[in-house]
Amino acid sequence: PKPSSAASDVYKRQDWYKGQDDTTYVVLERYESQDALDAHGQTEYMKTIGGEMGQYMAGRPEVSILKSI
């Protein structure tokens, strides 16, 4: 499923990158605030996409939360 417009409204920016091999991808998401990130995690889309994406992944995704300086 695609995120609803309400879900995508919480993004300030989202970029996708592919590694040199066909198994590594990076999604860089930037949010307006911690509240926006928290709201994103509570969307129906995010509650269902993890299980659906799991069949295409070798394991749990690595997630890093960074602060802009």
The string of pLDDT tens digits covering residues 54-66 is 888 888 889 999 9
* Four-residue CA torsion sign, 5, 8, 62, 37: negative
CB atoms within 10 A of CB 51: 8
The pLDDT assigned to 9 comes to: 61
Q: How far apart are CA 40 and CA 4, in angstroms?
A: 11
The pLDDT assigned to 17 comes to: 95
The pLDDT assigned to 1 comes to: 45
Torsion angle of the four alpha carbons 22, 44, 5, 16, in this order, in degrees rounded to the nearest 10: -20
**For the whole model, what pTM was predicted?**
0.66
Query: How confident is the model over 1-49, as pLDDT tens digits?
Result: 445 555 556 678 889 999 998 888 999 999 988 898 898 888 888 888 8
